[in-house]
């Protein structure tokens, strides 16, 4: 065993020996070897979108298997109600609202995480792990001025702690519609360079706005610029023809990259950040799944997502790695039906409740914006089939996995990331003392005990396009989440003392610049 590995094993034993735990300490025989870590980060998957969280309109057997073999959390949160800020907080351990420029990133945004700062993957690199990100990125690429699509695209994930990267640079609905592997666009013909603009037209390719007859999927709002693969996107693009992705193959392509990464690194500890495109728009399932859910494309891509999870689990089984791999499954924000394409998500929804009875949806300060499925499987170390109601957040992964792997972080590193490793492994039902949430308008909420306080905001309360209540209100809102899970009764007027205390605590957390209790 080399020195790094020995350090890792030692730190790892220490974390399992310390801490006050309600449940018996787990068997430690298997812990002589540090666990591999696979984080499956889905896009826009709602609290009620999988059968282990109550969906009945279709089955998600692989995700459910993770739940029957692992620990299922009922009060786990994405840090924000949209993708970029959630991912920023996940990787840096810092609430995104502390930093400007962390809103939904444009397709040509520069990297928003400064190279050199401590990140979740850099912590795990320090612990001796090989780290890889496969799938959606959406955290910007390149220095000031953004990425050079035709040259070396950096800084990017390799400069902030990942050893390997295969990326959908932003989202499936934004140009450029190409994959980036490490520093380069995959399959780019230098004779056909890529040009991208989000301001004015580039090249002479048809747009969805001018040529709807060329579309196989029509926009409902936005998404009417350059047409690629019969789908119009956000932004204009020309060139890079040979490099353009085929949406129907995207799940297969990124899953193959993820399983290859596992195969390649099976002999040493690895961290895989498998960041799916599903179930974001445009929802275009492979033929194997198209039409299979009965709920239209949105349901079909949930089945596709479940298949991806099955491929990852099957690979771990086949290589004999399942017992020594911590698999975490969660989502970057809550659900939306119409997110800009006419894909019948609304018409074919039927009885299915993507938000599982929570109020709001993606973009919202209400619970559906950020409360998401969160399942942790680690055979032998986590009680199978258990449920935890502890308050946890994805922002905690940095400090918690640092703790698990024996890496010490300073007060400034992961400033909002709490060491929740004993909660995450189910040793205790105690969760975070408080949690700040963030919606697409920048409105903050504070959850503490049974209470949720939403700060006053003059931003619009409702988005007609997505048909989502955003949770913004010029008056303070207070909900008792235990008695009123659906946030139907604003009881701020009945409990001015609670409102005052929570608003003061929120201001304090803002001012302090950090919130980890060290």
Binding site for ligand NG6 (CB under 6 A): 43-44, 82-83, 104, 138, 171, 173, 221-223, 234, 280-281, 333, 339-340
Which stretch, 37-45, 158-166, 192-200, 436-444, contacts Ca ion (CB under 5 A)? 37-45
Of Ca ion, ligand NG6, none, which one does residue 352 interact with (CB within 5 to 8 Å by kind)?
Answer: none
234 binds, among Ca ion, ligand NG6, none (CB under 5 to 8 A by kind): ligand NG6
Bin 197: left if φ > 0, else alpha if -120 < ψ < 50, else beta: beta
Give the number of residues written for the chain.
Answer: 518
Find the shortest distance in angstroms from Cβ 104 to ligand NG6. Answer: 5
Site string for Ca ion, 295-334 (x = CB under 5 A): -------------------------------------xx-
Q: Is 80 helix (H, G, I), strand (E, B) or coil?
A: strand
Residue 221 interacts with, from ligand NG6, Ca ion, none (CB under 5-8 Å by kind): ligand NG6
Among 275, 258, 245, 235, smallest CA distance to 138 is for: 275
Min dist CB 401 to ligand NG6, Å, is 24
Closest C-alpha to 375, from 12, 28, 9, 51:
51
Question: In whole angstroms, how close is the CB of 39 to Ca ion at the nearest point?
Answer: 15
C-alpha to C-alpha distance for 356 and 48, rounded to whole angstroms: 4
For the chain, helix, strand, coil in percent to 5 are 25, 20, 55
- Paired tokens of 401: 């996995």
Over 141-173, what HEC string results? Answer: CCCCCCCCCCCCCCCCHHHCCCCEEEEECCCCC
Q: Rounded to the nearest whole angstrom, what is the least distance from the CB of residue 256 to Ca ion in the complex?
A: 23
- Which residues, in sequence order, are CB contacts of 131 under 8 Å at separation 6+? 121, 124, 125, 161, 162, 163, 164, 270, 271, 273
Residues 453-492 that bind Ca ion (CB under 5 A): none
Q: Are strands 76-77 and 130-136 parallel, antiparallel or unpaired?
A: unpaired
State the burial class of residue 100 (Cβ atoms within 10 Å of its Cβ: 0-12, 13-18, 19+): exposed
Long-range CB contacts for residues 203-208, cutoff 8 Å, separation at least 24: 203/236, 203/237, 203/238, 203/239, 204/238, 205/237, 205/238, 207/232, 207/236, 208/232, 208/233
Nearer to ligand NG6, 223 or 514 (CB): 223
Work out whether 173 is an interface residue with Ca ion (CB under 5 A).
Answer: no
**Does residue 163 touch Ca ion according to CB under 5 A?**
no
In whole angstroms, what is the distance from residue 109 CA to residue 297 CA? 29
Output the smallest distance, CB 400 to Ca ion, in A.
Answer: 22
Nearer to ligand NG6, 88 or 453 (CB): 88
Strand partners for 392: 76
**Contact partner at residue 104 from ligand NG6, Ca ion, none, CB < 5 to 8 Å by partner kind:** ligand NG6
Minimum CB distance to ligand NG6, residue 276 (Å): 12
Residue nearest to ligand NG6 (CB): 222
Q: From the CB of 386, what's the least distance to ligand NG6, in Å?
A: 30
Q: Of the two residues 146 and 222, which places its CB atom closer to ligand NG6 in the complex?
A: 222
| CA proximity to 343, closest of 296, 289, 399, 277 | 296
Could you tell me if 250 and 168 are in contact, meaning their C-beta atoms sit under 8 angstroms apart?
Answer: yes
- Write each residue from 56 to 85 as x if it is in contact with Ca ion (CB under 5 A), else as -, in one continuous string: ---------------------------x--
Site residues for Ca ion, window 81-140 (CB under 5 A)?
A: 83
**Among Ca ion, ligand NG6, none, residue 171 binds (CB under 5-8 Å by kind):** ligand NG6
- Taking CA atoms, 138 is separated from 14, 104, 156, 168, 184, in Å, by 36, 8, 11, 8, 16
Q: Of 38, 40, 43, 172, which one interacts with Ca ion (CB under 5 A)?
A: 43
Residue 49 as a binder of Ca ion (CB under 5 A): the answer is no
Cβ-based nearer residue to ligand NG6, 41 or 329: 41
201 or 291: CB nearest ligand NG6? 201
Ramachandran region, residue 414 (left: φ > 0; alpha: ψ -120 to 50; beta: rest) = left
User: Residue 138 binds which one of Ca ion, ligand NG6, none, with CB within 5 to 8 A depending on kind?
Assistant: ligand NG6
- CB of 83 or CB of 309, closer to Ca ion: 83
Q: Which is nearer to ligand NG6, 429 or 465 (CB)?
A: 465
44 binds Ca ion (CB under 5 A): yes
Closest residue to Ca ion, judged by C-beta, is: 83
- Enumerate the H helices of 275-431 as residue ranges: 297-318, 397-405, 421-424
Q: How far is the CB of 87 from ligand NG6 (least distance, A)?
A: 9
Which of 210, 239, 242 is CA-nearest to residue 225?
A: 210
- Which residues are near Ca ion by CB under 5 A? 43-44, 83, 332-333
């Amino acid at each position: 065993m080399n020195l790094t590995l020995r350090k890792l094993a030692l730190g790892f034993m220490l974390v399992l020996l310390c801490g006050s735990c309600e449940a018996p300490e787990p068997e430690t025989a298997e812990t002589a070897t540090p666990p591999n870590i696979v984080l499956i980060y889905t896009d826009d998957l709602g609290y009620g979108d999988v059968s282990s969280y109550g969906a009945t309109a279709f089955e998600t057997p692989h995700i459910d298997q993770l739940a029957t073999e692992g620990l299922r959390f009922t009060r786990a949160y994405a840090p924000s109600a949209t993708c970029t800020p959630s991912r920023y907080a996940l990787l840096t351990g810092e609430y995104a609202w502390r930093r400007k420029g962390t809103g939904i990133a444009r397709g040509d945004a520069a990297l928003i995480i400064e190279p050199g700062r401590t990140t979740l993957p850099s912590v795990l690199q320090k612990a001796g792990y090989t780290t890889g990100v496969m799938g959606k990125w959406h955290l910007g690429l390149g220095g000031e001025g953004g990425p050079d699509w035709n040259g070396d695209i950096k800084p990017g994930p390799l400069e902030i702690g990942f050893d390997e990267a295969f990326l959908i640079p932003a989202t499936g609905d934004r140009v450029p519609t190409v994959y980036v592997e490490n520093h380069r666009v995959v399959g780019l013909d230098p004779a056909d360079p890529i040009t991208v603009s989000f301001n004015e037209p580039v090249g002479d390719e048809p747009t969805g706005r001018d040529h709807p007859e060329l579309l196989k999927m029509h926009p409902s709002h936005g998404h009417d610029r350059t047409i690629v693969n019969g789908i119009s996107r956000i932004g204009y693009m020309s060139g890079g023809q040979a490099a353009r992705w085929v949406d129907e193959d995207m799940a297969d392509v990124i899953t193959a990259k993820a399983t290859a990464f596992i195969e390649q690194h099976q002999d040493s500890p690895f961290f895989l950040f498998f960041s799916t495109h599903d179930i974001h728009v445009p929802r275009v399932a492979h033929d194997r799944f198209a039409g299979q859910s009965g709920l239209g494309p949105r349901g079909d891509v949930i089945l596709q997502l479940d298949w991806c999870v099955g491929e990852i689990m099957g690979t771990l089984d086949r290589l004999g790695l399942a017992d020594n791999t911590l698999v975490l499954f969660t989502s970057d924000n809550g659900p939306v039906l119409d997110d800009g394409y006419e894909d019948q998500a609304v018409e074919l929804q039927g009885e299915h409740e993507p938000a599982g009875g929570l109020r709001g949806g993606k973009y919202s300060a209400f619970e559906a914006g950020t409360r998401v499925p969160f399942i942790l499987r680690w055979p032998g170390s986590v009680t199978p089939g258990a449920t935890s109601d502890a308050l946890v957040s994805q922002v905690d992964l940095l400090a918690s996995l640092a703790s698990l792997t024996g890496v010490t972080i300073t007060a400034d590193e992961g400033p909002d990331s709490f060491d929740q490793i004993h909660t995450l492994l189910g040793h205790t039902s105690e969760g975070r003392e408080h949690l700040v949430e963030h919606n697409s308008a920048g409105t903050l909420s504070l959850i503490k005990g049974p209470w949720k306080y939403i700060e006053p905001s003059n931003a619009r309360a409702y988005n007609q396009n997505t048909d989502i209540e955003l949770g913004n209100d010029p008056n303070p809102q207070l909900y008792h989440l235990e008695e009123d899970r659906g946030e139907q009764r604003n009881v701020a007027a009945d409990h001015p003392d609670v409102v005052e205390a929570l608003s003061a605590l929120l201001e304090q957390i803002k001012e302090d610049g950090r919130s980890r209790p060290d």
